[in-house]
């Protein structure tokens, strides 16, 4: 046993978006990817040259399992969102085809031995054993991934839910940013789950899929919880009582997720960590936003729950932002390991740290997967 780093699960990354929208070859180290993007700085996406996530760093951080997304929106007028350069497709068919492009990238990474899909309890058990038993230096272990949809627009109809499931999909968030076919999302009119959304939720529970509540409006959140009887998570989600705004959950919402035995993934976007952080203007360093700030949210959720069983990581690193919107004491995703010392210093014992690092997500998958 050479590896002394704790196993980590990160329940929210947008790896395919990074690969297929930002044209990042994630098999290369983060610092090489940054260099390749220097000429693009300020030309298209705000995080050019500032990425923090790639396979070598995920492995180096002993992050053996990630939930990673396909993102593909439908937008009636097809325009990008006002606030984000996410394309909105004119039709569900285009959105589905675009999602399939992202899926094909995951498949290609499987062929390279970079990734391995985790879809069942047995698969999870085997994968966890491999990562925690072999010596770390010994091999380039495939990183486990749970396939997730961030925004359900690309599910053309209920037949496609089953197609997605057969292709490995295990977690669905109904909405993302703006209006959605199944539910309204962040920065929308605040309406809730649509008629299509109600049907989708009912069908999802037959498949024991994970419902990801992140990006729902408050109205949609409570509606979805009423309808859905399966496992719920909030994959990348912080606390509204610390950082006001619709994107964060109120204590009542956090309590509901906890009561449903759900898990909340703490996110590292500085916009969700500091009440006054303004995107594109403020710097994490000047605002004093370090990793410690996330522990305030972790603490808050532990206080509400009365234990450490409902919180994990859902970092959202490189989720259309990079170093310019990441805690200043983090250079790459492998720095998630720094939380071991930070949590210890804040009074978390060994068992609590394991709960936060991976165990709560494992327990949730064990409760949910076939
Ligand atoms: Zn998101």
Distance 1 CA to ligand 1 centre (A): 36
Tell whether the torsion through CA atoms of 188, 190, 196 and 200 is positive or negative. positive
Residue range 221-243, pLDDT digits in tens? 999 999 999 999 999 999 999 99
Q: Are 177 and 185 in contact (CB under 8 A)?
A: yes
Residues, the chain: 370
User: What are the φ/ψ torsions at residue 264 (nearest 5 degrees)?
Assistant: -110, 130
Query: What residues does 313 pair with on adjacent strands?
Result: 10, 266
The Cα–Cα gap between 347 and 353 comes to: 10
Element spanning 137, H or E:
none
pLDDT confidence tier of residue 82, bands split at 50, 70 and 90:
very low
**Is pLDDT above 90 for 327?**
yes
The Cα–Cα gap between 113 and 125 comes to: 19
CA atoms within 13 A on the CB side of 160: 15
The Cα–Cα gap between 152 and 174 comes to: 5
pTM of the model: 0.96
Distance 162 CA to ligand 1 centre (A): 24
Residue with tokens 């394991």: 354
Average pLDDT, rounded, for the chain: 94
SS3 label, residue 56:
helix
Neighbours of 176 (CB within 10 A): 25
Residue range 177-194, pLDDT digits in tens? 989 999 999 988 899 999
Distance 309 CA to ligand 1 centre (A): 23
**Is pLDDT above 50 for 1?**
no
Q: What percent of the chain has pLDDT over 70?
A: 95
The Cα–Cα gap between 153 and 93 comes to: 10
Give the angle subtended at the CA of 223 by the CAs of 163 and 264, to the nearest 5°: 75
Looking at residue 207, its pLDDT comes to 97
Distance 72 CA to ligand 1 centre (A): 12
Residue range 86-105, pLDDT digits in tens? 668 999 999 999 999 999 99
Residue range 13-30, pLDDT digits in tens? 999 999 999 999 999 999
* 283-305 exposure pattern, b = at least 16 Cβ within 10 A, e = fewer: ebeebebbbbbbbebbbbbbebb
Distance 338 CA to ligand 1 centre (A): 23
Q: How far is CA 288 from the centre of its chain?
A: 24
Neighbours of 23 (CB within 10 A): 12
Q: Are 213 and 257 in contact (CB under 8 A)?
A: yes
Q: Select from 111, 144, 107, 142 the least CA-distant residue to 125.
A: 144
Distance 138 CA to ligand 1 centre (A): 34
Distance 64 CA to ligand 1 centre (A): 21
Looking at residue 76, its pLDDT comes to 75
Q: Select from 42, 36, 47, 66 the least CA-distant residue to 333.
A: 66
Distance 235 CA to ligand 1 centre (A): 8
Q: Are 254 and 265 in contact (CB under 8 A)?
A: no
Query: What residues does 193 pair with on adjacent strands?
Result: 183
């Amino acid at each position: 046993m050479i590896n002394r780093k704790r196993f980590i699960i990160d329940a929210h990354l947008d790896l395919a978006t990074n690969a297929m929208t930002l044209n990042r070859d994630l098999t290369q180290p983060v610092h090489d990817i940054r260099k390749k993007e220097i000429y693009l700085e300020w030309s298209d996406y705000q995080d050019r040259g500032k990425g923090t996530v790639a396979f070598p760093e995920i492995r180096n951080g002993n992050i053996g399992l990630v939930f990673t997304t396909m993102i593909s929106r439908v937008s009636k007028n097809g325009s990008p969102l006002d606030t984000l350069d996410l394309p909105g497709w004119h039709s569900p068919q285009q959105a589905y085809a675009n999602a399939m492009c992202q899926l094909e990238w995951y498949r290609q990474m499987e062929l390279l031995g970079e990734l391995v899909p985790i879809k069942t309890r047995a698969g999870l058990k085997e994968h966890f054993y491999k990562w925690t038993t072999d010596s770390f230096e010994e091999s380039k272990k495939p990183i486990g991934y749970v396939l997730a949809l961030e925004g359900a627009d690309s599910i053309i109809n209920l037949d496609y839910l089953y197609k997605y499931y057969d292709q490995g999909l295990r977690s669905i968030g109904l909405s993302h940013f703006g209006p959605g076919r199944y539910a309204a999302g962040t920065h929308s009119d605040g309406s809730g789950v649509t008629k299509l959304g109600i049907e989708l939720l009912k069908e999802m529970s037959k498949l024991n899929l994970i419902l990801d509540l992140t990006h729902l409006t408050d109205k949609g959140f409570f509606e979805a919880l009423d309808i859905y009887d399966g496992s719920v998570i909030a994959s990348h989600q912080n606390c509204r009582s610390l950082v006001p705004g619709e994107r964060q959950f109120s204590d009542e919402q956090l309590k509901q997720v906890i009561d449903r035995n759900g898990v909340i993934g703490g996110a590292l976007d500085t916009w969700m960590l500091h009440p006054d952080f303004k995107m594109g203007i403020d710097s994490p360093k000047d605002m004093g936003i370090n990793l410690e700030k996330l522990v305030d949210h972790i603490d808050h959720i532990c206080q509400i729950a009365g234990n450490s069983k409902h919180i994990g990581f859902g970092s959202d690193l490189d989720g259309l932002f990079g170093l310019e919107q990441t805690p200043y004491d983090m250079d790459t995703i492998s720095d998630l390991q720094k939380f071991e010392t930070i949590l210890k210093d804040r009074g978390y014992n060994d068992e609590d740290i394991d709960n936060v690092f991976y165990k709560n997500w494992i327990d949730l998958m064990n409760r949910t997967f076939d």
